Structure 1
Amino acid sequence: MSYIRGYDPETLREKVDPRQCKERLDEIGEQRSLPALLERVWLLKVLGRPDDALVLSEQSVRLARMAGTRKDLLRARILHASVQQVRGAFAAAEQELTMCADEAEGQEWAGIAAFAYQHRGKVHFDAGDFDDARRDFKRALFLRQESGTPDEQLEPTLLAIDAVDRRRAASVAS
């Protein structure tokens, strides 16, 4: 079930129903499986609790390192980096996402690589680096299209490219 109701065109953040997310967080409780931890991290992040999300994201990376697959570890690291981004640690998030994107592309895991590029694009966007943001979003779009992602799932990436183009145009005009 997706809790995402859309994306804010100015911030590129997920729009969610906070009540529904809180209910799901309560439902998961203190489960310690990797999927439950990752879901809790994401829910805490979108509910505006980045400090709590950071603690759990660090736990999820450790758990994935010990008991998960390489793909699990990459997903946990990407989510951890997205929490760092929300907390304003852009350099750390960018570095982590670069390593994840490189590893995923090296393994030919297009979906995970696209996920990493999408998030790195958001880091650049938040940092005001619109050229690099656009480059990352375009790379994510290419990887998703190449791997046969349905058109409706491309929407967040297309919206991100549009948001970057609007920001770039506004910065040139001012």
Structure 2
Amino acid sequence: MSYILGYDPDTLREKVDPRRCTERLAEIGEQRSLPALLERVWLLKVLERLDEALVLSDQSVRVARMAGTRKDLLRARILHASVQQWRGAYAAAVQELTTCAAEAEGQEWSGIAAFAYQHRGKTHFDSGDYDLARSDFKRALFLRQDAGATDEQLESTLLAVDAADRRRAAAVVAS
């Protein structure tokens, strides 16, 4: 079940039902499997409980390193970087996402690379660098198309490209 109801066109953040997310968080409880940890991190992030999300995302990266696959580790690291982004630690998030994107592309894991570029684009977007954001969103779009992504994933990336274009245009008009 997807908890994402859409995306805010101004912030590019997920729109969620906080009640459903809180209920799901309670359902998961203290489960320690990697999928449960990653879901808990994401739920805490979208509920803006960022301190808890950061601690748990650190733990999920450690668990993925010890017991997961390379793909699991990349997903955990990308989620960790997205928590850093939401906390305003843009440089750290960009650095982590850049390494994740490069590794995923090197392994020809288009879907994971697209996920990393999409989040790096959101990080650039939040930091006000709309040219780099647009470039990352376009790369994510290409990779998602290559990976056979769902219409919903492609639509979220197109929304991001459009938002970056709007912000770039507004910045030009303002200067």
Q: Please report the TM-score for the alignment, with normalisation by the length of structure 1.
A: 0.99
2-side partners of 1:53 and 1:128: how far apart?
A: 24
Paired with 2:89 and 2:7, the residues of 1 have a C-alpha distance of 22
1:43 equivalent in structure 2:
43
| Structure 2 counterpart of 1:23 | 23
Shift of 1:148: 1.6
- Aligned-pair CA distance for 1:140: 0.2
Query: 2:134 corresponds to which residue?
Result: 134
Question: SS state of the match for residue 40, structure 1?
Answer: helix
Amino acid at match of 1:126: D
User: CA RMSD for the aligned pairs?
Assistant: 0.6
1:17 offset after TM fit, Å? 0.1
Name the % identity.
Answer: 82
Query: How far apart are 1:79 and its partner, in Å?
Result: 0.1
> What do the CA deviations read for 1:7-54 (whole angstroms, capped 9, x no partner)?
001100000000000000000000000000000000000001010000
Report 1:118-129 matches (<5 A). 118-129=118-129
The question of 1:91 aligning with 2:116 is answered: no
Q: Distance in 2 between matches of 1:61 and 1:31?
A: 15
Q: How far is the alpha carbon of 1:146 from its aligned partner?
A: 1.3
| Structure 2 unpaired stretches of 5+ | none
| 1:72-113 CA-partner distances (Å, limit 9, x unpaired) | 000000000000000000000000000000000000000000
Displaced runs of 4+ in structure 1, greater than 6 A?
none
SS in 2 for 1:60: helix
Per the TM alignment, residue 149 of structure 1 is displaced from its structure 2 partner at its CA by 1.5
Give the alignment of 1:19-168 within 5 angstroms.
Answer: 19-168=19-168
Query: Alignment partner of 2:10: what SS?
Result: coil
1:151 deviates by: 2.5
Which runs of 5 or more residues in structure 1 are unaligned?
Answer: none
1:152: how far off?
A: 3.2
User: How far does the alpha carbon of each residue in 1:100-134 deviate from its partner, in whole angstroms, 9 at most, with x for none?
Assistant: 00000000000000000000000000000000000
In 2: Cα distance, 1:49 partner to 1:108 partner: 34
Normalised to the residue count of structure 2, the TM-score between the two structures is: 0.98
